[in-house]
Amino acid sequence: MTSTASISPSSNKTRIRRLFERLRAEGRPALIGYLTAGDPSLERTPSLVAALERGGVDLIELGVPFSDPIADGPVIQRASERALRAGAVFRRVLEVAAEIRRRSEAPLLLFSYLNPVLRYGLEAAARDAARAGADGFLLTDLCVEEAERYLTALRAERLDTVFLAAPTSTPARLELVARHSSGFVYLVSRTGVTGERAALSEAVEPLIRAMRRITDLPLAVGFGISRPEHAAALAPLADGIVVGSAFVRLIERLGGEASLEGELEAFARSLRRACER
């Protein structure tokens, strides 16, 4: 096992950190929206991101598609398949990120798996992501215990490293996640894969309390958050609320229709209103 004891978060204030500081002062959580880059096309992805921003999304998780997305449910799996068919390899996703950055100052978190990053080259991925205007990475299948080289590469480029904590995480794992995350900690609301759910998991509040005891980092909750009432229930508890599959399902349903951006904006606005404490 590789030790991560010597790798500590950098002290620079990234866009992600500045966002959470501002929202903490305003007394509301961040609304975080996930999209799979390249679905329905690479060319249209910046327009979809802009629609989410107009609707009140504060931080964008830009999904880098992968052929074996084991942490994702069927909605995002299908989006990854569509995006890969559209040519959304890591290099092209960075081009999309750069186009988004030319239009927007919203924080951009690259959300993917370890394989596409390793194939590109870890140090090159960190360097080129920073040049494209990305603010950090979240790799769902990267164990924090094995992340020393990853942490070193991203810290060198002043990128945030967001790790996952789950209801099944041991106290030792929670400590490691808290120690090596920067920007925020992503709390998985339930065991299993991403996807829309009818109700919030009862495991959310105990997990939030456990992480609050060991870190001052912002805590964002995702997996299964898909309705305004979910956002309203989480707003008093979490610093960030992550919605992914519900946005991606809209994209799947409307595809290339001209109404897509308007529908995304309207749904985002309903979530944003629910986040107001």
* 229 catalytic per annotation: no
* 72 catalytic per annotation: yes
Q: Express each pLDDT in 202-242 by its tens digit.
A: 788 999 999 999 999 999 999 888 899 989 999 999 999 99
For tokens 């609050």, the residue is: 212
CATH class as words, domain 19-159+190-202+218-275: alpha beta
Low-confidence ranges of the chain (pLDDT < 70): 1-12, 71, 190-201, 277
pLDDT at 69: 73
| Structure tokens belonging to residue 201 | 């998991």
pLDDT at 250: 96
Of 208, 188, 172, whose CA–CA distance to 4 is shortest? 172
Q: Where are the domains of the chain?
A: 19-159+190-202+218-275
Of 2, 11, 9, whose CA–CA distance to 151 is shortest? 9
Among the listed residues 72, 160, 261, 265, the single catalytic one is 72
Among the listed residues 39, 53, 61, 160, the single catalytic one is 61
